């Protein structure tokens, strides 16, 4: 399995890996000739673990390529802050932008769905960019795209240019979404929870402040261009440490014992755990985008005035700030994360039931509960790092999870709007979100069990190798064995 990040970012093995599980050196080659189907999978996996034990630095002293830890963490926190302002800031002044540029309702609709689709499409490309150019270099380029896109869209008075520039900024944000978890795994392998808490909290603040401050900035300085352009300045500040980090290329090395397989982002889909993470991420994102898109209208339909409805919506990201600080650290300390999955699911269920029964009288409580349910977002990002052993797999797992997840999330606001048009009310749309909590919790519980995507991919490799060798030796017998054992049968 090929490494995609710099050798300076080599990840440490899991502390739960027992020395008794490690096969003697050289056992991989010998076991590969064993005729027993299940034994080969076990021996191959053990040999890969043995290689990891002997070639990867200890977690207590992670290799950071000579960069001080404070610089790396500061760079990550500043980057994370700028992964949302281009979206949340635009939402605050979308009416003014539409009136000034002559944006049609159709184009305005495109602008509201463009972030989710861009996160899915460009996020899928990010691991490949990282393999080719290096993670630090790609993250620096991502921030440069965020700066350039936000500047161009406020300087050029053209609808096509505005759309193109917004897409460029979103491409940079998508790359950051995917590669930051892998960067944390590479440079802070023993502090995944702490580093994830730092950057997800920064991301939550970067979502909340632009929504609250873009309009006041626009009023103070004379228009929406200043309100949106201000966030290009913050992205420019965040770019400075990344320019320092990107100056040295670093060595892109294939770790000893790797097979060179699974370099494709989508090959991670051979892991059931990867699909569980993607499902959980997608369903929680669907809940979040549906709430941000329609919650004010739900409250207004219940008799809440427009200003109060906007304040109620602001509760969701505000609640997310302390959760982003708490959940990653707590998740990293727990033996598994199922209690947190249950907690987020319960908050969503009570919040939606409250919206159905008493939307106006308990509005503040329901908004807080839906914000608590949104703790599933930092929880998922943390589990991406906890469910992978190497930064290479973390990068591809992050890309796979977010690409699949954001495609699923894009369906949420559309389904809510369609159901409202058909039924003329919000009972059925809210009921849909309530029902979707069930598969969200189910996939979350599967993702929260303590295991590793790397191990599932290694076992799949071993099974595929044995099947190929058996078929080459005796095609008839190999077919009979496949019928009996099944394609993924292995022991242990």
Q: Please report where in the chains the tokens 């109620």 appear, as a residue.
A: 312
**How does pLDDT run along the chain (492 residues), one tens digit per residue?**
333 334 333 333 333 333 333 333 333 333 333 333 334 333 433 433 343 333 333 333 344 557 888 899 999 999 999 999 999 888 888 888 988 999 887 788 788 788 989 999 999 999 989 888 999 999 999 999 999 999 999 999 999 999 999 999 999 999 999 999 999 988 998 888 899 999 999 999 998 899 888 989 999 998 999 999 999 999 999 999 999 999 865 543 444 334 444 467 778 888 999 999 999 999 999 999 888 878 888 998 899 887 788 788 888 888 988 999 899 989 989 988 999 999 999 999 999 999 999 999 999 999 999 999 999 999 999 999 899 888 888 888 999 999 999 999 888 888 888 898 899 899 999 999 999 999 999 999 999 999 999 888 888 878 776 766 666 666 665 555 545 444 444 433
C-alpha closest to that of 84 among 309, 308, 292: 292
Closest CA to 288 of 379, 199, 198: 379
pTM of the model: 0.74
Q: DSSP class of residue 387?
A: T
List Cα–Cα distances, 386 to 184, 191, 472, 478, in angstroms: 11, 11, 38, 37
Structural domains present in the chain = 7-58+454-485 (no CATH), 64-252 (1.20.1250.20), 267-451 (1.20.1250.20)
Nearest to 73 by CA among 157, 194, 171, 154: 194
| Terminal CA-CA length for the chain | 22
What gap in Å lies between CA 62 and CA 70, rounded to an integer? 14
Decide if 204 contacts 84 (C-beta within 8 A).
no
In order of 48, 287, 463, 464, the CA distances from 34 in angstroms are 17, 49, 12, 14
Task: Give the three-class secondary structure for 6.
Answer: strand
CA 92 distance to own-chain centroid: 24
């Amino acid at each position: 399995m090929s490494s995609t990040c710099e050798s300076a970012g080599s990840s440490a093995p899991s502390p739960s890996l027992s020395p008794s599980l490690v096969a003697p050196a050289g056992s991989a080659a010998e076991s590969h000739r064993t005729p027993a189907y299940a034994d080969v999978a076990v021996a191959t996996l053990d040999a890969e673990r043995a290689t990891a034990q002997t070639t990867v630095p200890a977690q207590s002293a992670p290799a950071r390529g000579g960069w001080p830890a404070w610089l790396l963490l500061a760079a990550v926190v500043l980057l994370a802050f700028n992964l949302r302002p281009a979206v949340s800031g635009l939402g605050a002044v979308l009416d003014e932008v539409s009136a000034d540029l002559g944006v049609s309702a159709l184009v305005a609709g495109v602008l509201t769905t463009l972030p989710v689709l861009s996160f899915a499409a460009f996020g899928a490309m990010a691991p490949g960019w990282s393999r080719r150019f290096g993670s630090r270099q790609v993250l620096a380029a991502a921030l440069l795209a965020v700066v350039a896109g936000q500047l161009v869209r406020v300087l050029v008075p053209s609808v096509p240019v505005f759309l193109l520039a917004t897409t460029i900024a979103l491409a940079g944000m998508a790359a950051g979404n995917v590669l930051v978890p892998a960067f944390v795994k590479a440079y802070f392998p023993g502090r995944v929870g702490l580093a994830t808490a730092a950057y997800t909290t920064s991301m939550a603040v970067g979502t909340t402040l632009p929504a609250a401050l873009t309009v006041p900035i626009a009023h103070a300085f004379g228009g929406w261009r200043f309100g949106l352009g201000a966030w290009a300045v913050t992205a420019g500040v965040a770019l400075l440490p990344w320019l320092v980090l990107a100056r040295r290329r670093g060595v892109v090395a294939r770790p000893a014992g790797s097979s060179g397989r699974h370099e494709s982002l989508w090959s991670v889909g051979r892991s059931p755990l990867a699909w569980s993470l993607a499902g959980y991420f997608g369903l929680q994102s669907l809940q979040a985008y549906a709430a941000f898109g329609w919650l004010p209208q739900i409250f207004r339909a219940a008799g809440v005035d427009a200003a109060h409805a906007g304040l109620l919506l602001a509760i969701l990201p505000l609640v997310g700030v302390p959760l982003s600080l708490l959940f990653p650290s707590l998740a990293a300390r727990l033996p598994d994360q199922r209690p947190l999955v249950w907690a987020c699911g319960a908050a969503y269920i009570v919040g939606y039931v409250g919206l159905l029964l008493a939307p106006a009288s308990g509005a503040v409580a329901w908004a807080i509960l839906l914000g608590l349910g949104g703790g599933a977002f930092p929880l998922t990002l943390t589990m991406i790092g906890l469910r992978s052993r190497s930064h290479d797999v973390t990068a591809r797992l992050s890309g796979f999870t977010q690409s699949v997840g954001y495609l699923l999330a894009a369906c949420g606001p559309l389904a809510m709007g369609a159901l409202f048009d058909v039924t003329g009310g919000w009972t059925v749309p809210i009921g849909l979100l309530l029902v979707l909590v069930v598969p969200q919790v189910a996939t979350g519980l599967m993702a929260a069990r303590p295991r590793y995507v790397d191990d599932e991919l290694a076992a799949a490799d071993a099974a595929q190798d044995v099947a190929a060798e058996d078929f080459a030796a005796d095609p008839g017998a190999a077919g009979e064995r496949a019928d009996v054992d099944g394609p993924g049968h292995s022991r242990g």
